[in-house]
Amino acid sequence: MVKETKIELVRLNVLLQEYGVSSRRKADELIESGNVQVNGKIVKTLGVKVEKNSSISVNGKILKSIPTKVTYLFNKPFMTITSRKDEKERTTIFDLPELKKLPLNVQSVGRLDYRSEGLLILTNDGDLSLALSHPKYSVEKTYAVLVSSPFTIEDSEKLKKGVELEDGIAKAISVKIGSKEKLGNSLGQWIELVVTEGRNRLVRRMLEAIGLSVVRLIRVAIGDIRLPSKLEAGKMRVVTDIEGKYLSNLKKNMLQEINEKSKFTLSKDILEKRKLKKKVTLNDIEYAKEAERREKRATLISKLRKKELAQNEQKRHTWKVKDSNNSFTEKRLETKENIYKTDKKEKRFNKTKLEFKPKEQINSNIDPKKAIFKGKETRKLTDLDKKEFELKKKRKTTNDKNNSRSSERKTNQRKK
């Protein structure tokens, strides 16, 4: 038997990104303009899936081979933008001499705003960037923030509970208060803040909502990967073996989740039937009939439930007793009688009015007045129980006598 080889289908814009032509957005623009050919045919439709081995050409040039996947750690400097181009013509990270040599397919995982600084991961692996940046996989991002005024424990609790922003509630997983720093005439304070989301200017907006202004913001870590202390601002280095293993594990976990979900997808026939059902609409008469049928069904169900509850209550208050003919007869006790009962909280015998709820089968010889009840169990008073009861009475009398003697002594002392 010849084994069937599975053909890997990939989206065309993803393939163009892997080849290093451009980003996915710009790849879509190239496809729409008709500058991309697959196996000699022009493709203009977006979201088309193509075989990995198929020959692709852009602007008449055939793409030869996919470059190897690379990941770098980069220390973003202050007053730079994380993009290839800027409308205001400000300096970008790719304008720096360290990053100019990188191919076009290497992109930053997530972004830091113009005034923020710290750790960025640069890679050409699309799956890895998705695993790190998507909020569904909740990779932690830690930030060291310098605030212009002192930071209290109440502020940290507010951030943990959640702060309302324009685009929804934002929460901090953990907040640590650090050392203080002089800022001219005032005192600032350092904070370590952990967040799983990557929304635009999230940390700054969270602190502004509390009433604090940010002086300096540094991303210290992404997951278990921390910003190297020796890595200067504006420079990068290749990921180490330990860091590479951690990132590969993140990617594997993400791909496993996607594969498990794809296994449980419904067949095409079922999906088509569901679509047809949605299209079918009921007339006014049919809708009214269905509404009446549902109301009748609901009333029947409610009646049946009430009957069941009534039957269960009757069973609780009834039990079987043997007659002279050895035949069982059901009896129901609804009266309240004075019976002895052990009070577990006070640990003493008290005469209290209680509802008698015996089991289904019980001996007819037992008198309820001479019975001790513990939960649902019943038993006769034994000699030991009587002795305990007498001992407790004696203790009470001795205690009362001692109390009376002590009170008499105190009164005599006061008179003297």
Per the annotation, the verdict on 113 as an active-site residue is yes
CA distances from 124 to 17, 34, 105 (A): 8, 25, 5
In 3D, which of 177, 148, 182 has the Cα closest to residue 160?
177
CA pair distance 51, 67, nearest whole angstrom: 17
Beta bridge partners of 75: 119
Would you tell me how many other CB atoms lie within 10 Å of the CB of residue 383? 7
CA pair distance 231, 184, nearest whole angstrom: 29
Q: Which of 28, 86, 95, 113 is catalytic?
A: 113
Would you tell me how many other CB atoms lie within 10 Å of the CB of residue 327? 9
Q: Which two tokens stand for residue 408?
A: 């008499």
Q: Which two tokens stand for residue 229?
A: 């202390």
> Sign of dihedral through CA atoms 34, 36, 41, 47?
negative
Backbone conformation region of residue 97, classed left if phi is above 0, alpha if psi is from -120 to 50, else beta: alpha
The answer to whether 20 and 105 have CB atoms below 8 angstroms apart is: yes
Would you tell me how many other CB atoms lie within 10 Å of the CB of residue 416? 5
Q: Which residues are catalytic?
A: 113
